[in-house]
Amino acid sequence: MVDFYPMFTSQSQSQSIRLENVARQKLTNQNLFDFPGEAYLPHNANKAAIAQYLQELEVSGADVSLIQYTDARGSYDIARFCRAGLDHFDKTIDIQSTSKSIFTLFLIDTMGDLLWDNIDKPVETLVKRPLHELYPITAWQPSIIGIEQEWGKRTLRQFLNHTSGTPFNDDVIAEQVARGEPALNAPSTYIRYSNTGVEFASAIAQQWIRENPLRFGASAIDQTRLEQIASDFMKRHFCPGSRGEQPLFTVGQIGEFRHIIWSGKIKASARQIAELPHAVSRLSDDHRKRLFTPIGEVCEGVRNSLEKEPSYPELAGTPPDSSWHTYLKPSGMSNLFYRRPYGYATHGSFENNCDVIIQDCRDNLPASELASLAKNNPYFTVVRLQGERSDATLDQSYGIKLTTILREFFS
């Protein structure tokens, strides 16, 4: 990993200085990069910051990245980067936790206002069936009994929080039950990462769709129709690949149970993920505002992991105004979208993520203002996808480094 030295330019930088020329002064493997649309860069695009970001991608071992600029005239790819495991730019791979952000948009699209009406109520008021019927994982027996006693008291907002305190493996659940503790104890307990909550939310959503067929123009909804609803959502909001490939909701299978949102397993390409801010901009103004409302403003008891002391020894004791808290502490509707000083990002791992850098975005904007900017102002979409982790992405300072640069894309 190279040392990071920010190199930023003023708004008066001449447009005659090509991004390609600025970038190629920094890049080692220049043949891996493509600059197809830099003529469409906005007047205040910081070319040195973009070039610095491309260099970070190169040295970090990223497989593919897209930097796309969107304005009122349309959408243009500014810079592309391919290498290693992905032999062409539109190859589809598992997009890991970015899938969860798409699932949040799917819930908003599917449930509408009912999502907001029920997001902070116990889920048993939304779906009145026991968990073992919605999510029949026999491997969790007998610890499933402990979950059944109280899972319905949790809220969708908690299940949509990556770090809601929901245990995510058999051993943790079994230990809690053996100690006589509730299996879903303490929603603010620090658990750094959990797929289980989102899996529960998906199971609840599937059952809710089945119980409300008239909302989808049907008298009844079977598994085939359920999966079609998910597929139609993807086709409406995420573009085909260059060869016409459709983005895919991968259907998971646990025994006899089919799961339309298999946590972290949506397959897509960088170009398709670049459509995510378009899906956000198509939301109603009220829904977009709610999406960017910080968790703490509506649900005090729900915490995300980064509101507690970081578990990484090198960051222990980090003061609240440090780069760790400034650039990595997430807030948002479900902890699946992050609010950032430059805009927002999906909650993916550092190697698989989508950052949206909005012109005129500032720190601590009210949710309504950020929602308006997300709809109306030009932005960059930066997508990073990797087939496998690299040493760089396992370093927590890597995320701080990238977000520091992204903040300077509009200067």
Q: Say if residue 294 is preceded by a cis peptide, omega within 30 of 0.
A: no
Q: Of the given ranges (118-132, 187-201, 225-239, 375-389), which has the lowest mean pLDDT?
A: 187-201
More confident: 192 or 158: 158
**How large is the angle between the packed helices 223-237 and 196-211, nearest 10 degrees?**
110
pLDDT digits (tens, 9 = 90+) for 76-107: 888 888 876 677 778 888 887 788 888 889 99
pTM of the entire predicted model: 0.81
Tell me the pairing of strands 379-385 and 353-358. Answer: antiparallel
CA dihedral 81, 85, 91, 95 (to 10 degrees): -90
pLDDT digits (tens, 9 = 90+) for 324-344: 444 445 455 566 787 888 999
Give the best-scoring range by mean pLDDT among 38-52, 187-201, 326-340: 38-52
Contacts of 307 (CB under 8 A, 6+ apart): 329
pLDDT (0 to 100) of residue 356: 94
More confident: 388 or 99: 99
Contacts of 194 (CB under 8 A, 6+ apart): 162, 163, 164, 165, 166, 167, 168
DSSP secondary structure string, 71-121? ETTEEEEEEEEE-TT-SSTT--EE-TTHHHHHHHHHHHHHHTHHHHHHTTS
More confident: 301 or 12: 301
**How large is the angle between the packed helices 47-60 and 396-406, nearest 10 degrees?**
160
pLDDT digits (tens, 9 = 90+) for 124-156: 888 877 777 777 655 455 555 556 666 777 778
